[in-house]
Structure 1
Amino acid sequence: MEIIQWVIIALAIIFIISRFMPVKGITQLTSQEVKKKLKDKQVQFIDVRTPQEYKSNHRKPFKNIPLHELAKRTGDLDKQKEVVIICQSGMRSMRAAKMLKKQGFEKIINVKGGMGAWV
């Protein structure tokens, strides 16, 4: 009985750690680092917040594709080009980045801290 408890605890710890480990192929950049890329026409900038959040505060050239729509709108994006993703805090954009990674995108950047950290 004790061994089963330890196995369950170990699996829970592995699961929690895996949630916070960086994903291979997804780069984390600060807003300052991303600002240097804003004029690059070869980069796709995606804001995965809700339309209301986007309307109240957004940065050009970020295009609003809410997280819940992203899976069905990946055809609008070029898998060969770099994708920079932002949300409010960096959590939804990381989920979006993982989703794009699974769909074959290779150059993905998540904005650390999201719009909340935009300086």
Structure 2
Amino acid sequence: MEYINYFLIGLIIFFIIQRFLPTKGVKQITTAGLKNELQDKNKQYIDVRTPAEYKANNIRGFKNIPLHQLAAKTNQLSKEKEVVVVCQCGMRSSKASKLLKKQGFKHVTNVKGGMNAWS
């Protein structure tokens, strides 16, 4: 019985850690690195924050597709081109990156720190 408790606790810890680890195959980039890549027209730039957040402050060239709408709007994106994803702090863009990888996007980049790190 005691082993079952340890197993369950271990399983719970495993799933918690999994949520915070970067998704396999998703490139991580800093906002400083992003500044060097913004001129690349072969990339798709997506901001997954709410329309109000986007309107208040955004990075030129990023298209607003809120996270809750992304799954329904992936047909607006090319699976062959790299997708660069940003949000406010990096959590929603991490979820969006995971969703895009599951949908078959080959090149996905998450902006670490999101708009909080952008200056």
Give the structure 1 partner of residue 87 of structure 2: 87
Deviation at 1:5, TM superposition (A): 0.5
Deviation at 1:22, TM superposition (A): 2.1
Give the structure 2 partner of residue 7 of structure 1: 7
- The alignment-based identity, stated in percent, is 58
The 2-side partners of 1:19 and 1:37 are apart by 28
1:98 aligns with 2:98: yes
User: After the TM superposition, which segments of 4 or more aligned residues of structure 1 sit over 3 Å from their partners?
Assistant: none
TM-score (norm 1): 0.97
Deviation at 1:106, TM superposition (A): 1.2
What runs of 5+ residues in structure 1 fail to find an aligned partner? Answer: none
The 2-side partners of 1:21 and 1:85 are apart by 17
Q: CA RMSD in A?
A: 0.7
TM-score (norm 2): 0.97
Number of aligned positions between the proteins: 119
The 2-side partners of 1:67 and 1:23 are apart by 16
Give the structure 2 partner of residue 26 of structure 1: 26
Deviation at 1:19, TM superposition (A): 1.4
Give the structure 1 partner of residue 59 of structure 2: 59
Aligned residue for 1:36, secondary structure, equals helix
> Aligned partner of 1:95: which letter?
K
